[in-house]
Amino acid sequence: MLPLAVAAPASAQYSAPGWTHSESSYYPEGEGFRYRPFRFQLDAGGTITQRSNANLLDNGWNTGLGLTWFPTSHLPLGLRLDGSYSEFKARNPLLDAAAAFYQTEVDRGTVRMWGGDVDLELDFHLGPRTRAYLVAGGGWYRQQTTYRQLQLVHGIFCDWWWCYNGYGFVHPIVARTTSDWTFARNAGVGLEFALSSRASFFIDARYMRLNPIDVRSDFLPIRAGVRF
């Protein structure tokens, strides 16, 4: 009589990092990632200016939210949607250029950038509670630049506790410009750590390139957040 074949345990086929998302049969309940078709995320971090932007803007900060959709548990490939807001302070070369253009003194400048990306995400399982991922795609962004001038004026000034009559500094707007929506490309890498079967912590960095008509703008946002 031929010996009966012994079936391998369900987890054996997942014993090493691989190209599958079947966490539901890999990890016992509560001990790592579980497959869910949708993942929501909240994130925040810093943005490092690159190329020409490094001379014009200080490094800034960012915040955002997103949604990732994995259509099947058998492929580690998903579609990720991200919306973000970033803010930067203008450096002296940009302030000097604005002062020359508007023919007046410019002491402060703020650049705000907002928009969203549509990326593909490819996951790589490194262990029960750790995975790496790659993202790449494109999106649309808009920038608003505000220039201000420092002035000493006389008037009534109020704080949290009282109002007083005297002199104080104000920063009235010299000019404000808003760009058109601009296409941006990005690519990056991240790490994700399971906090429970339903929540995880992640950190990622991606290189972004905006292509306005007059200058090429590059940014490196580094974000940390939670997925659930």
User: Would the pLDDT of 10 be above 50?
Assistant: no
User: When comparing pLDDT for 132 and 172, which is higher?
Assistant: 132
pLDDT at 23: 46
Q: Is the pLDDT of residue 135 over 70?
A: yes
**Lowest-pLDDT range, 7-16, 64-73, 167-176?**
7-16
Q: What is the largest CA-CA distance in the chain?
A: 104
Average pLDDT, the chain: 85
Asked whether the beta carbons of 62 and 44 are under 8 A apart, the reply is: yes
Q: Please state the rounded mean pLDDT for residues 31-50.
A: 92
Please give the average per-residue pLDDT across 50-60, as a whole number. 92
d(CA 79, CA 189): 15
Residue with the bigger pLDDT between 158 and 140: it is: 140
What percentage of the chain has pLDDT greater than the value 90?
65
Q: What is the pLDDT of residues 145-190, one digit of tens each?
A: 999 998 777 677 677 788 878 776 677 889 999 999 999 999 999 9
Looking up tokens 């339903």 gives 198
How many Cβ atoms sit within 10 Å of the Cβ of residue 118? 12
DSSP-assigned states of every residue in 12-42: GGGSS--S---HHHHS-TTSS----SEEEEE
User: What is the DSSP code string of 105-134?
Assistant: ---EEEEEEEEEEEEEEEEEEEETTEEEEE
With CA atoms as reference, report the closest residue to 45 among 219, 204, 210, 217: 204
pLDDT in tens, 184-227: 999 999 999 999 988 999 999 999 998 765 566 899 999 999 99
Which band of pLDDT confidence, cut at 50, 70 and 90, is reported for residue 31?
A: low
Domain ranges of the chain: 37-101+111-142+180-227
- CATH of the structural domain 37-101+111-142+180-227, one choice from 3.40.50.300, 2.40.160.20, 2.60.40.10, 1.10.220.70: 2.40.160.20
Statement: residue 111 has pLDDT above 50: yes
Say how far apart CA 224 and CA 218 lie, in whole Å: 20
Mean pLDDT, residues 118-141:
96
- Report CA Rg, the chain: 25
- With 0.85 as the threshold, say if the pTM is over it: no
